[in-house]
Structure 1
Amino acid sequence: MTLLWDADPGAAERYDFAVGEISRFETQATMVRALEDNPTEMLVLIGPDVDMDAACQFAELCRVERPELGVILLRRRIDVAVLGQSLRAGIREVITSDDVTGLADAARRSRDLSTRVHGHSGESTSAKTARVVTVFSAKGGVGKTTFATNLSAYLASTGSRVLLIDLDLAFGDVGISLQMLPQNSIIDLVSMAGNIDEQAIKAVVTKHDSGLEAISAPAEPSDADRVPGTTVAELVRVAKRHYDYVLLDTPPAFTSHVLAAFDDSDLLILIATLDIPAVKNLRLTLDTLDLLGNKKDSRLVVLNRSDAKVGLRPEDVVAAIKQDIAVMVPNSTAVPASVNRGVPIILDEPKHAVSVALRDLADRFIRVADTPAGAADAAASSQQSPKTSRWSLSRGGNR
């Protein structure tokens, strides 16, 4: 079967003679869902009236997420500009919409190439895949970076290979929180887009004493806009093949980079604190994730500074968000003190109440797939509820 992105109700009948059975979808969103439901599909047609920029953006994402998938673009008129833009986006062929014979030949060539690409990639299907964890809150200052650095350091201390990526591209603090002096950052990967591999990642990581490897945010906030979401998606996809865990620290906003992280995450750690703005933003975050089609069972709500005496109780948070709190981490001045020393509290003071809570979070919800039973449970869960991919374009205290 071939998938067709075209708003014209008669389009499928017009092209089925050339490519066989067609399923037509009117929007990019419905097309993406169809591809998620058909992981073996090898060919997509994009109709002549679909916006050129949208078509190319879709093709770029397909090239990252499904390299074996062929995309053929139909246009009413073909010129050098259209061909050049299509080539850069990874579209395999551009055919005039009235050339049925040309479309049939292009479809055959594309399917042959897809079969070869799929066969080649199938040789490494037994390769390991890292567990990807994103730490997020739509409010700043709730402890995202503290959680990301401590969890990463703890996982690395168990002998696992861990990559921590700072996606707060304008004001990331991973490097300074761990007192590292990165020579390179994620901005150095932009020029390698489409060709990121293990060596490229090694060239930009900074190693911490705990054993974790980190990719820092750019030194200049103005560079944040130069990192496209597709580069983040490619980085995560490649890193999954070479690490045991990939953790993503994020800014307090739904940027294209954050959406790319959500798409490929096995677990979302959503952090809140006992204040009305944080709880409100958490509620909005959960609603937004529902709209994006994110699986509810991939989310983990964590309450930081849970014993703070500020007139709001954990049960009030549960009532507001209509979801249980998985882990409660107590408040302590030892946390900002450990950040100032550049030493994760989970390693520096392992018996501290905050360390115990963070370790419990890691052992119960992140490392669960390390055990044979956990791996079996994870496999069963993935079969019952396949991982959704939206194919994104998709301070202070315990930060």
Structure 2
Amino acid sequence: MADASPHLGASDGANLIPPVPRISIQSFCESVDVAAVVEEAARDRRLSKAHVKTHMGGVPAAIEAFRSAPTPNLIVLETYSDRSVLVQQLESLAEFCDPGTKVMVIGHENDIGLYRDLISRGVSDYVVAPIDPLGFIAQISHLYHSAGGETIGRLIAVVGAKGGVGASTLAHNIAWSISRQLELQTVVADLDLAFGTAGLDFNQDPPQGIAEAVFSPERLDMNFIDRLLSKCSDTLSILAAPVTVDRAYDLAEHTYDGLCDILRSTAPCVVLDVPHQWCGWTKRVLVGADEVVLVAAPDLANLRNAKTIMDSLRALRANDRPPRVIINMTGVPKRPEIPIADFAKAMEIEPIGIIPFDPKLFGSATNNGQMLAEVDGSSKIVEMFDDMGRQLMGRSGPRRAKKTLLESLRRLGGLKAS
């Protein structure tokens, strides 16, 4: 029911809706409007693992269908019937339901008494039409990710519009800022198996890393991933790439699915460092992420590529916000650049970050295996990364100011304010 469960149509929280697990769903609709919503929802990335079928005929059709067929994990029923008829129909359907099958009813009567009656009879949820695709997905996700379930972290995929634009450096520093500024457990996963730089940037040389997870999918679980993580700080760990070319990395489209699912349940924030290439698995990773960050330099090739990727992802992620854009390496001496305003107009989106060209700061950090904040914590660029990290994690508040020793003592009561 609309007032008793997560709001249908609340698109502001789209990125907080956990993906629905690998379940089978069959819907039995009475109106073409609800059937169209279910079919559109089935194409959303959050239902990509579920198997969804849509039928017409409402509850009577469901009763007839399951007389001789096993029931799916979830049955969705649309009904215009009054309470007494609906209860009778549900009792008939219950005779054929397998143990563990959940039932969601979509009704056209906003009645708290009806909601309570249906819940007491074993119905998993009752929602009131009209519904929209994202709201429908949110209801299903809520059924399988209750308050007592696993923690679902946010996946942030960072990719360059062109090679050499500094996407990996930005990904690593964004992750560092999130872990440091927001004090959230964060994992950086370097998906560039052949040439990844996470190990170099964090001055780590772990004996194991992401390759072990990729090539041993049968061993994937939380304990296995935990052994592969290399700890950089109390709140930041990395899955480093092997950086070897002794084999070809022709990865299948679903290669990273299991790893991403486990990382989601392990850390509140996961930053995926995605290499600049377009293939089945990179496309799937970008489509499946909660946030996509597109890094580009202010030149024509970057603008063309960024626009192409943006248009593709907008179409594939219809219920998500568009990818975020960061324009990197602006103000290079003597280099003609596309003005930021023209770049943003062509992309039809304002960038969340405009990073100036600073070869001394970035060069020192890269060569020393440090983050920018470790080289110069007072830099304006470091503040930009903190701001971008808060935006990507849905934190809109001001940057947390560091307390002085005097302020800390006053807070503890050790000194009186004058």
**Same fold flag (TM > 0.5):** yes
1:345: which partner in 2? 372
Q: CA deviation at 1:21?
A: 5.0
SS class of match (2:266): coil
Query: Deviation digits for residues 221-266 of structure 1, max 9, x if unmatched?
Result: 3556354342312211121112110001111122333223223322
Alignment of 1:319-358 (within 5 A): 319-333=345-359, 334-358=361-385
1:347 partner amino acid: E
Pair 1:134 & 2:135 matched: no
Alignment of 1:24-39 (within 5 A): 33-36=40-43
1:16: which partner in 2? none
2:389 aligns with one of 343, 362, 371:
362
Alignment of 1:144-293 (within 5 A): 144-158=167-181, 159-193=183-217, 196-209=220-233, 211-221=235-245, 223=247, 225=249, 227-293=251-317
Pair 1:302 & 2:318 matched: no
Contact conserved, 1:145 with 1:173, CA < 8 A, in 2? yes
Unaligned runs of 5+ in 1: 1-18, 24-29, 42-60, 72-100, 372-399
Q: 1:34 to 1:223 in 2, by over 3 A?
A: farther
1:115: which partner in 2? 101
CA–CA separation in structure 1 for the residues paired with 2:250 and 2:262: 20
Q: 1:122 to 1:211 in 2, by over 3 A?
A: closer
Pair 1:318 & 2:344 matched: yes
Alignment of 1:86-105 (within 5 A): 105=68
Percent sequence identity is: 19
CA–CA separation in structure 2 for the residues paired with 1:248 and 1:20: 35
Query: Deviation digits for residues 26-48 of structure 1, max 9, x if unmatched?
Result: xxxx9984525798x9xxxxxxx
Query: Deviation digits for residues 257-277 of structure 1, max 9, x if unmatched?
Result: 322322332211111112221
Larger radius of gyration: 2
Q: 1:226 to 1:204 in 2, by over 3 A?
A: farther
CA–CA separation in structure 2 for the residues paired with 1:289 and 1:205: 30
SS class of match (1:240): helix
Q: CA deviation at 1:287?
A: 1.7
SS class of match (2:271): strand
Runs ≥4 in structure 1, deviation > 4 angstroms?
A: 19-23, 30-34, 36-39, 101-106, 118-126
Q: 1:32 to 1:216 in 2, by over 3 A?
A: farther
SS class of match (2:165): coil
CA–CA separation in structure 2 for the residues paired with 1:201 and 1:224: 23
Q: CA deviation at 1:123?
A: 6.1
CA–CA separation in structure 1 for the residues paired with 2:39 and 2:193: 27
SS class of match (1:368): coil
CA–CA separation in structure 1 for the residues paired with 2:246 and 2:69: 43
Query: Deviation digits for residues 169-226 of structure 1, max 9, x if unmatched?
Result: 2321111222210211222123542662211211211111464111122333355635
CA–CA separation in structure 2 for the residues paired with 1:222 and 1:22: 54
CA–CA separation in structure 2 for the residues paired with 1:344 and 1:105: 62
SS class of match (1:163): strand
Contact conserved, 1:178 with 1:343, CA < 8 A, in 2? yes
Let me know the Cα RMSD of the aligned residues: 3.6
Q: 1:293 to 1:153 in 2, by over 3 A?
A: closer
Q: 1:188 to 1:104 in 2, by over 3 A?
A: farther
SS class of match (1:133): strand
Contact conserved, 1:187 with 1:227, CA < 8 A, in 2? no
Contact conserved, 1:301 with 1:326, CA < 8 A, in 2? yes
Contact conserved, 2:314 with 2:322, CA < 8 A, in 1? no
Q: 1:21 to 1:222 in 2, by over 3 A?
A: farther
1:244 partner amino acid: P
The two structures have a TM-score, normalised by structure 1, of 0.63
1:143: which partner in 2? 166
Unaligned runs of 5+ in 2: 1-25, 31-36, 54-63, 75-97, 105-123, 125-142, 398-418
